[in-house]
DNA sequence: TATTGTTATACTCTATAACTATA
DNA sequence: TATAGTTATAGAGTATAACAATA
């Protein structure tokens, strides 16, 4: 986990209550918890994002998945090397294009993905522990209306990954 | 702005509604908007955090402020070099300790900090544009109750900075 | 002996652009 | 000629540890 990343402690004391501030702080918090939870599984949040995508697109090529996830080709190689070394992913010959690899989750990869999803669920539960179910629904609705209006990048959420790997 | 950071696009379609997910995504979103808004001022979010701290602790030493913000000494030097070069900060001789520097915001630094705060306010307003004032209050309250319970690092929010610089 | 600011080093992460083999 | 995966290189960002001056 990133022990200490950058500049500012928050100095929240001097700051007016702010949705932007809280959301930033919590976003980092969630990322940290997720990383901590995934560490015992031997993967990082970004691997989780990739594994999940692979589960939904078995047999696709590296570039195809890379495009969907906004990962440049060079990074895909390194990422997949790691996952393959751990036996979670396999590169098989592509049936119709001899240049490409067909990517597949191994059984171990599927099992680990399940465990990783459990981690995410646990993070969600612990995060919302102080809320009644109805309050959580309310919060989800309000956050959803925040998410919409002026997304800087409407197409995707590039770089979210930097924090969460989602 | 970080054009494209890491791994995963979200694949949100395949994901259950989740406070953790939304908060992560919005956290990154806020960070991006803040960076975009500050760029014309010639600073980055992390500089904002430091300038704000300086405004509240004029005359302190580098290490003193660094401790408060969780910035190691080496980074403080580089950060302050940048701010001083832009005429926003000044290192003056410390009145009681000849090893230390007394840090001060210049008038230009104060002006820029004000502009930066305006940027933050604009981000907050645009983020909450879809909400009625009462709804925003409600959201603030709910987020506040999320923030409390199990902070991974109770002492501070180290590394938040990575995203927001707050 | 401890602490201040500084500097140098190393390490991680990432983007970019070559390169090969196929199409 | 365009595209698949790969590799190499370089750049940013950061932590770490050594350093001289002062306490």
Q: For A100-146, what is each residue's pLDDT tens digit?
A: 999 999 999 999 999 999 999 999 999 999 999 999 999 999 999 99
Q: Is the pTM of this model over 0.85?
A: no
Are A119 and A36 in contact by the 8 Å Cβ rule? The answer is no
Please state, for a pLDDT cut of 90, what percent of chain A lies above it: 73
pLDDT at residue A23, as a whole number: 92
Tell me the CB-side half-sphere exposure of residue A69, using CA atoms within 13 A.
31
Given this model, what pLDDT does residue A56 score? 94
CA–CA min distance A95, chain B (Å): 26
Q: Please choose, from the candidates B8, B49, B35, the residue with its C-alpha nearest in 3D space to the C-alpha of residue A158.
A: B8
Q: Which residue ranges of chain A lie beneath pLDDT 50?
A: 1-13, 149-166
- Residue ranges of E strands in A24-123: 89-93, 101-105
Can you name the residues that pair with B105 across neighbouring β-strands? B89
CB-based contact B12:B21 (threshold 8 Å): yes
Beta bridge partners of A93: A101
pLDDT exceeds cutoff 90 at B155: no
Nearest CA in chain A to B135: A142
Does residue B64 register a pLDDT over 70?
yes
Strand C reaches within 7 A of the A75 CB: yes
DSSP conformational letter for B43: -
Q: Give the pLDDT score at B14.
A: 56
pLDDT score of B16 more than 90? no
* Portion of chain B with pLDDT greater than 70, in percent: 79
With cut-offs at 50, 70 and 90, classify the pLDDT of residue B15: low
Q: What is the pLDDT of residue B12?
A: 41
The answer to whether B53 and B67 have CB atoms below 8 angstroms apart is no
- Locus of tokens 């990048």: A153
With bands split at pLDDT 50, 70 and 90, how would you rate the model's confidence at B66? Answer: very high
B106-144 pLDDT tens trace: 999 999 999 999 999 999 999 999 999 999 999 999 999
Q: How far is the CA of B43 from the C1' of C7 (A)?
A: 24
Q: Is the CB of B85 under 7 A from strand C?
A: no
Residue–nucleotide distance: A3 CA to D22 C1' (Å):
31
pLDDT of residue A16: 77
Angstrom distance (rounded) from CA A112 to CA B157: 30
Phi first, then psi, for residue B103 (nearest 5°) are -90, 135
CB A128 within 8 A of CB B19: yes
pLDDT of residue B17: 86
The structure tokens 């209306």 sit at: A145
pLDDT of residue A14: 56
Point out which residues pair with A102 in neighbouring strands. Answer: A92
| HEC sequence for B126-165 | HHCCCCCHHHHHHHHHHHHHHHCCCCCCCCCCCCHHHHCC
DSSP at B7 = S
Give residues lining strand D (CB < 7 Å): A 3-6, 61-64, 66, 73-74, 76-78, 80, 91, 97, 99-101; B 46, 72-75, 78, 97-99, 161-162
- Mean pLDDT score, B147-160: 41
Q: How many residues make up chain A in this entry?
A: 166
Which letter does DSSP use for residue B87 in this model? Answer: T
Token readout for B137 is 């209050």
C-alpha distance from A64 to closest chain B C-alpha (Å) = 13
């Amino acid at each position: 986990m990133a022990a200490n990343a950058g500049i500012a402690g928050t100095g929240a004391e001097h700051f007016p209550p702010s949705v932007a501030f809280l959301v930033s702080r919590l976003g980092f918090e969630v990322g940290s918890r997720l990383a901590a939870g995934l560490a015992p599984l031997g993967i990082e949040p970004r691997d989780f994002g990739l594994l999940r995508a692979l589960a939904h697109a078995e047999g696709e090529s590296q570039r195809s998945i890379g495009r969907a996830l906004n990962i440049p080709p060079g990074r895909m190689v390194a990422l997949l090397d790691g996952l393959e070394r751990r036996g979670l992913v396999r590169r098989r010959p592509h049936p119709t294009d001899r240049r490409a690899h067909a990517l597949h989750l191994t059984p171990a990869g599927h099992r680990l993905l399940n465990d990783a999803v459990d981690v995410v669920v646990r993070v969600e539960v612990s995060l919302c522990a102080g809320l009644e179910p109805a309050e959580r629904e309310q919060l989800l609705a309000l956050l959803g209306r925040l998410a919409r209006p002026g997304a800087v990048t409407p197409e995707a959420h590039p770089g979210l990954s930097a924090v969460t790997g989602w």
